[in-house]
Amino acid sequence: MPRILIALLLFMASSQADEAYVPSKTYYGRNHYVEYIAGSLPFVLSAPHGGREKPDELPDREKGTFAFDTNTLELARAIDDELVARTSQHPHVIICQVTRKKIDCNREIVEGAAGNRLTEQSWNDFQGFIRSAQKSVVGQYGKGFYIDLHGHGHADARLELGYGHDRAQFGLTDAELSKPDFIKKGTLQFFALKNPSAYPALLHGPQSFGALMEKSGFPSTPSAAKPIPGEPYFNGGYNIRTHTAPETHFAGFQIESNSKGVRDTDASRKHFAAVFVEQLAIYMEAQMGLKLPLKPKKSK
Ligand SMILES: [Zn+2]
C-alpha cells in the first residue's frame, strides 16, 4: 500500500476515535457494566452507587464502603428524561450498573477496584466516559458543569451538597471563606476564583444552589436556612474533586440526596427532576453564563 494511503487511513482512524460519541446515543463499557448516554448540553451527571448487578466474574471487595444508593440510577434517568423533555437534548450521563460491593466508581482505583483486572477495566470505563464527556462539553462550550449523584440515609432528611469543604469550615468568617487559597480547595473554583468575595454567598447565601432548592421545597445544606451542615455530612468524594480540577474547565458539586420525596417513588423522582432542572438552569446561567435552553412547560 502506498505510504500516503496508509497515513490517510491512520488519520481517519484517529479522527474517528475523537468523534466517536454521537449525542443522544448510548454507549457501554465492557460487558455493559458502565453506561454512557452521550449528550449535547453543557452538563455532565454521574451516578456511581446505584448499580444492582452482581456479575460472578467480578469478586466482592473486602475493604471499603458498600452502602447502596437506592434509586439514584433511576433518579439520574429521571433528570435525563426531564432535560430531554425541556430541551430536546441530553445531558451527558454516566451510570455504573454494578453493585458497590464489587466496584466503587467514586474511590481511587486501588480501593475502588480492589486490584482485580476486570473490575479495573470497568472503573476505567466509568472515569474515561466522564473525561470524554467533559472534553466534548469543553469543545462545544468552553466550560461545563458536573454533578456526582448519591443517596444518603442520614436522619436529617435534606439534600447534602458537597463542595469539597469539611462541615466545620462553613462556620468560618466570610473573610476566611473568601480567601483564594480556601476557594481552591473547593469544587466551584473554576468560576468562584473570578469573584472571591461572592464565595460565602455561593456556598450558603441566597445565590447558593442549596437556597434555590430550598425555596422550591427541597430542604438542603449548606443553604441559607442551614448554612452549616449537621453531622454526619458528606462533603464530596473522589469524582467531584477529580473532575472539577482546574484543568477540566468544570465546576460542580456532589449531591447526597435523602430518599423520601426525592428518589423513593417514580412520582417523587419526576417531581424532584422537574424542580432540579429548573433551578440548575438558573444557577448555571447566573454563575457560569451557561444556558440550558429550557422550553416553557406544557400546561396540563
Ligand atoms: Zn454514594
The predicted structure's pLDDT at residue 297: 81
User: DSSP state, 4?
Assistant: H
**Residue 53 burial (CB < 10 Å; 0-12/13-18/19+)?**
middle
Which domains does the chain carry? 20-288 (3.40.630.40)
Please state the pTM of the whole predicted model.
0.94
Q: How confident is the model at residue 293 (pLDDT cuts 50, 70, 90)?
A: very high
The predicted structure's pLDDT at residue 10: 52
User: What are the φ and ψ backbone dihedral angles of 276, each rounded to 5 degrees?
Assistant: -60, -45
Find out whether the peptide bond into 232 is cis, omega within 30 degrees of 0. Answer: yes
CA 68 to centroid of ligand 1, rounded, Å = 7
- 92 half-sphere exposure, CB direction, 13 A CA radius: 27
Q: What percentage of the chain exceeds 90 in pLDDT? A: 91
18: pLDDT strictly greater than 60: no
The predicted structure's pLDDT at residue 8: 54
The predicted structure's pLDDT at residue 36: 98
Interatomic CA distance for residues 48 and 50, integer angstroms: 6
CA 9 to centroid of ligand 1, rounded, Å = 44
> How do residues 75-127 score in pLDDT, each as one tens digit?
999 999 999 999 999 999 999 999 999 999 999 999 999 999 999 999 999 99
> How do residues 227-263 score in pLDDT, each as one tens digit?
999 999 999 999 999 999 999 999 999 999 999 999 9
- Cell numbers at 163, concatenated: 463542595
CA 151 to centroid of ligand 1, rounded, Å = 6
CA 20 to centroid of ligand 1, rounded, Å = 29
202: pLDDT strictly greater than 50: yes
4: pLDDT strictly greater than 70: no
16: pLDDT strictly greater than 50: no
CA 253 to centroid of ligand 1, rounded, Å = 13
137: pLDDT strictly greater than 90: yes
All residues at 6 or more sequence positions from 154 whose CB lies less than 8 Å from its CB, including other chains:
160, 232, 233, 258
CA 288 to centroid of ligand 1, rounded, Å = 26
CA 285 to centroid of ligand 1, rounded, Å = 27
Q: SS3 string of 184-247?
A: CCCCCHHHHCCCHHHHHHHHHCCCCHHHHHHHCCCCEECCCCCCCCCCCCCCCCHHHHHCCCHH
14: pLDDT strictly greater than 50: no
The predicted structure's pLDDT at residue 1: 54
177: pLDDT strictly greater than 50: yes
The predicted structure's pLDDT at residue 20: 82
Question: Mean pLDDT over all residues of the chain?
Answer: 94
